[in-house]
Structure 1
Amino acid sequence: MLTKYKPLVIICLRNAIICWGLSFCFFNVVAQEFTFSGNRQKQSLKFRSIKNLIVIPVFINGKGPFDFVLDTGVGPMIITEPTVIDSLDFSMLRKIKISGLGVETIDAYVSQNISAQIGQAKINNIPTAILKEDLFNLSGHLGIKIYGIIGYSFFNSFIVDVRYAENRIIFADPLKKIKYRGTRIPIEIEHLKPYVYADVEAPGGKKVRSRFLMDTGASHALSMEMLNGGAFPQPVKKIPANLGMSLSGQIKGFLGRINKISFDGYTFKDVVAGFPDFETIAHKIDLSDRNGNLGAELLRKFDVQFNYQESFIYVKPNINYKAPFEHDMTGMTIYLDQSEYKHVIIGEIDENSPAEKAGLCPYDEIIGVNFKPVNFYSFNDLSELFRAKAGRAIIFEIYRDKKTFFKIVKLEKRI
C-alpha cells in the first residue's frame, strides 16, 4: 500500500522521538548508486556514535567533509545546512512541502544535481531535499554541527557492515564475496526503507507478530505505534513524557516497558519503549504498514550487516548485548543553542520528574555538572550520566536571570 506520508526522520532524544514527514512522490528517483573508483571494492570508515546515532564525514560537491547522520529511516539525502552548497539559488529549485505531525507545513527544495562522497565512494545526481534552515536542530540536540542526513542511496549501493562495538562501518561492493557473521534475518525494503518482523509480548501477555521500521537514525530502542488500526496497548506502569516535537509542537505520549521482544532466536526483556499519542500521529502518518519503529538502542547490541539488494541482514551480538535498557532518569532534555558561545540549555521537563522536583526550569543554562564545567562533557557523556544509576545525585550549576546557583537532581528509575 502506498503511504501518503512517511516519516522522514525519527531522532530519539532521551528515549523520545522527533518526527517529520515528507511525501516522496515529489522525487522522480533515478537509480544512481555510490561507486568506488579504480579497483577498490571495500572500505572501512570510523564513525562517531552520539546518542546511538551514526555520524560520518560526507563530502558534498567536492567540499567538506561535513558531519552527516547515517540513517536507514530516510530515502533521499537531506541537507539541513544549505551553506554546504556554494551559490545555491533557491529560485531555480523545485519546491516541495514538508509536513510534520501538526497542521503546519514548510518549504523544502529538491535537487538531483548534487554529488556526494563517503570515503572513496562517490555518487552523482543523488536525490536531495534541501532545507533553508536546520529545522531538525540536530546540531543542538547532538552537540556538534550536523549538516544533513543520508540513507537509502548509500545502503542500497553496498553491503554495509555496521559495527557498533567498534564505531566503524565497513562497506563493500555487492559483487564482492563477503563473509557474513551471525544470524541471517530477512528484511523487506519498501519505500526505500528496511522493515523487519518480531514477536512482541503486549501488555496482558498476548504475543503479537509485529512489523518494525529498522531505523539507525532513532536513538530509542522501540516506539510502539499501532495495533489493529488503533493505538498499541500501553503497559500499566508508565510515565507521561514529551516524546519529541513536530513542526507545530510537542508530541505527547508515554514511556513504558515492553515485557519481551523476540526475533530469530534473540529475546530481550523489559525494553524501554515510547507510546506516542495515536490520535496525533495517525492524522499525519499512515501506520498501516507497520506496528512501530525499532531504533539504535536495540540495534547497537549487534554488529549488523545490511544487504538491501537481497533483502536480508546478518546480526551478531557484541559487547553491548547484555546491557539493560534504561531511560533518562532526570526527566529533561538538553540542547546546545546555536549562538557563538554554544550555551547548554534545558529544554522540556517532564511533569513530576526528578528535574522538576529539584527546581530546574526550561531555558535554564547549565554551566557546570558535578563541579566540572559543562564543556568538560560531550553530549554523549551527559546522556550516559543521566541514565547511569537510580539514586545517584547529580549536581548542576545553573545560570538563570543573571544569577548562578546549584541544584541537586537525584536520578530516579520511574518505569
Structure 2
Amino acid sequence: MLTKYSPGVIICLRKLSICLGFVFLAFSGFSQEFLFKRNRQKQSIPFKCIKNLMVIPVYVNGKGPFDFVLDTGVGPMIITDPSIIDSLNFSMLRKIKVSGLGIETVEAYVSQSLDVKVGSAAIERIPTAILKEDLFNLSGHLGLKIYGLLGYSFFNSFIVDVRYSENRLIIYEHDAKIKYRGKKIPIQIDNQKPYIMANIELPDSGTVAARFLMDTGASHALSLEMFNGGEFPLPEKNIKANLGMSLSGQIKGSVGRLSKINLGGYLFKDVVAGFPDFKTIADKIDLSKRNGNLGADLLRKFNIQFNYQEGFIYVKPNSLRKTPFEYDMVGMVIYLDQNDYKRLIIGEIDENSPAEKAGLCPYDEIIGVNFKAVETYSLNDLNELFKSKADRSVIFEIYRDKQVFYKVVRLEKRI
C-alpha cells in the first residue's frame, strides 16, 4: 500500500540476479528456538558473500557442514537437496504447496524431526520444508553447492548483528548486554518475515511511503511490485530484462533507475530497481501487505542488527555505502551445469543486449574469458566483471556444436 508522503526522505539500491523472496510456503509455524549450550551469550560466525547473499555453514542431524543461504525472506527452513538427510521416507511426510512464478504450484514435504546446529547454537525439531529436487538450482547460479535456506527460526532466536563489511555475523542471546550502533528503525514481523517502510520518489508522483519485505536472500537492491493496486510507473529509461530466479526459473520484467529512496533517513540516489511483470506476480503473490522487496544489494551498504522479538533494527552505513549501483552490462544469465557444477553455460539473453549483438546464444558453453580458462574465475568474479565499466571489451571463448570460437562483447551501460 503506497501513500503520498511529504517531500524530503529517500534511499538506494542496485543489481538483480537471484531472487528468493518470491517463495511462499503454506506452513504452520512453531515456537522452537536455537539455543546456546553452557550459558554462552554470543558467538561470531563468518559467512561467504556470494552475489550479495550470505552463505553460512549448517549441521543437520549431526552431519555437515553444509552451505545454506541465510535468508530473511523465508519462514521455515528449506532444504533444497534432501540427500543430506539419512533414511528420509517421503511417504511418511505431510505434503505442502510451494508456489513459484510462472509455473503451477509444486509439492514439498514438511518435517519436524530435524536437529540443526549453527556454530554453537542448536535447535531441535526445526520446522522444515524439503524439496525432492533442487528446483532453485542455487548451486548453479552461485557457483557453490547450496543445500538449503535458513530464515525465521534463526533470526527470531537471537539478536543478529550482520556485518556485511566484515563478512561475519554475531549472534547474541536476547538478555545479553549489547551495544547497538547506528540508527534505530522499526520493522514488523508478518508471517515470519520482516517488513520495513521506506520513502521513494516516483516519476509524476512525488515522494511516497512504501512497505518492503527485507530480503537478505535477494541479490538485487530493489524490486517494485505494486503501486496503488497496479503496476509501478516505469522510469522513462528502462530495458526489458530477466530480473532473477524463482522456483519457475527467470522472472520477467523491466529494469530502470529510481531517482531516490530514503531508508530511516539515509538517502540513496540513482538506484537500480526491478519492475516485475505485474500480472505474473499478482497472480502468484499476495501483494496486499507489501509494495516491493528490498534486497541485499542495498542492505549490504549497512551493518545491520536485527531484533525480531522487539520489532526493530539498527543500521549503520559501512564502507560499501558510496559504491554506485550498477546493472549487468552484458545482458545474459550464466550458470554452472547442474550435473557436475563445472561447465559454465549461458542461459537467457536480454533482447538487444551486448551479448545478443555479439552473437552469443543460450546454451553456449563458456570455456574462457579474456584468454584465461573459465576455471580461474568464480561466478562472483564474472558478475563483477560484467558490470565493471562501460565500453570495456570482454573476450569469450565459446564451445558450441563441437566447435570453439571467440566472441567479443563490449560492455554497455544500458540504464
Tell me the TM-score normalised to structure 2 length: 0.94
Count of aligned pairs between the two proteins: 403
Give runs of aligned pairs for residues 403-414 of structure 1, distance below 5 A. Answer: 403-414=403-414
CA distance in 1, matches of 2:230, 2:18: 21
CA distance in 2, matches of 1:177, 1:157: 16
2:405 is equivalent to residue 402 of structure 1: no
Give runs of aligned pairs for residues 302-321 of structure 1, distance below 5 A. Answer: 302-321=302-321
CA distance in 2, matches of 1:241, 1:60: 37
2:237 is equivalent to residue 237 of structure 1: yes
CA distance in 2, matches of 1:380, 1:190: 32
Q: Any conservation in 1 of the 2:394–2:410 contact (CA below 8 Å)?
A: yes
Secondary structure in 1 matching 2:280: helix
Secondary structure in 2 matching 1:140: helix
Aligned partner of 1:64 in structure 2 is 64
CA distance in 1, matches of 2:147, 2:141: 13
Secondary structure in 2 matching 1:229: coil
Aligned partner of 2:183 in structure 1 is 183
Aligned partner of 2:166 in structure 1 is 166
Structure 1 residues 264 and 14, CA, compared in 2 at 3 Å: closer, same or farther?
A: closer
CA distance in 1, matches of 2:274, 2:341: 33
Structure 1 residues 46 and 347, CA, compared in 2 at 3 Å: closer, same or farther?
A: same
Secondary structure in 1 matching 2:355: helix
Structure 1 residues 248 and 318, CA, compared in 2 at 3 Å: closer, same or farther?
A: closer
Secondary structure in 1 matching 2:262: strand
2:325 is equivalent to residue 329 of structure 1: no
CA distance in 1, matches of 2:195, 2:60: 29
1:358-386 deviation digits (Å, cap 9, x = unpaired): 11000000111111111101111111110
CA distance in 1, matches of 2:401, 2:101: 34
Give runs of aligned pairs for residues 263-302 of structure 1, distance below 5 A. Answer: 263-302=263-302
1:310-338 deviation digits (Å, cap 9, x = unpaired): 11111111110000000010000100012
Secondary structure in 2 matching 1:227: coil
More moved, 336-345 vs 309-318: 336-345
Aligned partner of 1:32 in structure 2 is 32
Give runs of aligned pairs for residues 45-56 of structure 1, distance below 5 A. Answer: 45-56=45-56
Letter of the aligned partner of 1:134 in structure 2? D
Residue 284 of structure 1, CA deviation: 1.1
Q: Any conservation in 1 of the 2:136–2:245 contact (CA below 8 Å)?
A: no
1:63-117 deviation digits (Å, cap 9, x = unpaired): 0000000000000000000011001111111111222223512210001111110
Give runs of aligned pairs for residues 136-147 of structure 1, distance below 5 A. Answer: 136-147=136-147
Letter of the aligned partner of 2:238 in structure 1? K
Q: Any conservation in 2 of the 1:15–1:327 contact (CA below 8 Å)?
A: no
Residue 282 of structure 1, CA deviation: 0.2
Alignment partner for residue 24 of structure 2, among 22, 25, 43? 22
Residue 342 of structure 1, CA deviation: 1.4
Secondary structure in 2 matching 1:412: coil
1:124-174 deviation digits (Å, cap 9, x = unpaired): 010000000100000000001000000100000000010001000000101
CA distance in 2, matches of 1:314, 1:249: 34
Q: Any conservation in 1 of the 2:47–2:168 contact (CA below 8 Å)?
A: yes
Secondary structure in 1 matching 2:304: strand
2:87 is equivalent to residue 87 of structure 1: yes
Letter of the aligned partner of 1:97 in structure 2? K
Q: Any conservation in 1 of the 2:37–2:120 contact (CA below 8 Å)?
A: yes
CA distance in 1, matches of 2:200, 2:22: 26
More moved, 173-182 vs 14-23: 14-23
More moved, 339-348 vs 298-307: 339-348
Letter of the aligned partner of 2:24 in structure 1? L
CA distance in 2, matches of 1:19, 1:352: 28
1:278-319 deviation digits (Å, cap 9, x = unpaired): 011001101011110000000000100001011111111111
Residue 343 of structure 1, CA deviation: 0.2
Gaps of 5+ in 2: 2-13
Structure 1 residues 43 and 18, CA, compared in 2 at 3 Å: closer, same or farther?
A: closer
Tell me the TM-score normalised to structure 1 length: 0.94
Q: Tell me which of the two structures has the higher relative contact order, counting C-alpha pairs closer than 8 angstroms and 6 or more residues apart.
A: 2
Aligned partner of 2:9 in structure 1 is none
CA distance in 1, matches of 2:101, 2:332: 22
Letter of the aligned partner of 1:356 in structure 2? E
Secondary structure in 1 matching 2:281: helix
Letter of the aligned partner of 2:64 in structure 1? G
Structure 1 residues 104 and 88, CA, compared in 2 at 3 Å: closer, same or farther?
A: same
CA distance in 2, matches of 1:125, 1:402: 50
CA distance in 1, matches of 2:183, 2:44: 22
Q: Any conservation in 1 of the 2:333–2:349 contact (CA below 8 Å)?
A: yes
Secondary structure in 2 matching 1:156: helix
Structure 1 residues 263 and 18, CA, compared in 2 at 3 Å: closer, same or farther?
A: closer
Q: How large is the Cα RMSD of the aligned pairs?
A: 1.6
Residue 23 of structure 1, CA deviation: 3.5
More moved, 159-168 vs 199-208: 199-208
Q: Any conservation in 2 of the 1:19–1:245 contact (CA below 8 Å)?
A: no
Q: Any conservation in 1 of the 2:23–2:247 contact (CA below 8 Å)?
A: no
Letter of the aligned partner of 1:322 in structure 2? K
Gaps of 5+ in 1: 2-11
Structure 1 residues 305 and 390, CA, compared in 2 at 3 Å: closer, same or farther?
A: same
CA distance in 1, matches of 2:119, 2:225: 36
CA distance in 1, matches of 2:92, 2:63: 21
